[in-house]
Amino acid sequence: MRRIIVRKENCSGCRSCQVICSMHHEKHVAPSEARIRVKSDYPWKEEPAVCQQCKNPACQRACAAGAITAGGTVPVIDNEKCTRCFECVKACPFAAIWENGAKMPLVCDTCSGQYLCVRWCQPKALTLGEED
């Protein structure tokens, strides 16, 4: 299984990952609507936060509405079933799912397997890896 590997020590804080993600999904530059975040403790540390594709995802277990399907792949949120309780946001140990401006939870979907954030990350803070 392919997954995004975060090398936080390489992150420059450029946020090109957020720009390309929002361009792909929202068709405009809107980092707050990206499915990846860069946590900042400027000037000391910049760190990408992206779904770690848990085998037994806490976000899915926390969803009482059954709106999240996952299990070793990126979670998929059924917007019709989602009650917007944001228990999934609270449950994620990686802070990789959050509420967007439209009051919906957002999580990485790998750009349908294109991994655009990885392709655009010049400092190689985001790379692709294989996991059994």
Q: What angle do CA 30, 33, 39 make, to 5 degrees?
A: 95
Tell me the mean pLDDT in the region 55-77: 90
Q: Yes or no: say if 81 and 65 are a contact pair by the CB < 8 Å rule.
A: yes
Q: What is the mean predicted confidence (pLDDT) over 76-83?
A: 93
- Entry pTM: 0.85
**Of 52, 39, 33, 35, nearest to 13 (Cα)?**
39
pLDDT band with cut points at 50, 70 and 90 for residue 72: low
Torsion of Cα atoms, 50 then 27 then 32 then 74, to 10°: -20
3-state DSSP call for residue 41? strand
The pLDDT of residue 35 is above 80: yes
d(CA 94, CA 14): 20
The yes-or-no verdict on residue 70 having pLDDT over 90 is: no
Measured CA to CA, the distance from residue 69 to residue 131 in angstroms comes to 19
Whether the CB-CB separation of 5 and 128 falls below 8 Å is answered with yes
Backbone angles phi, psi at 105, to 5 degrees: -75, 140
Question: Mind listing the domains of the chain with CATH numbers?
Answer: 1-50+108-132 (3.30.70.20), 53-94 (3.30.70.20)
- Give the alpha-carbon dihedral of 101, 105, 111, 113, to 10 degrees: 180
- Whether residue 64 contacts residue 85, with contact meaning beta carbons closer than 8 Å, is answered with yes
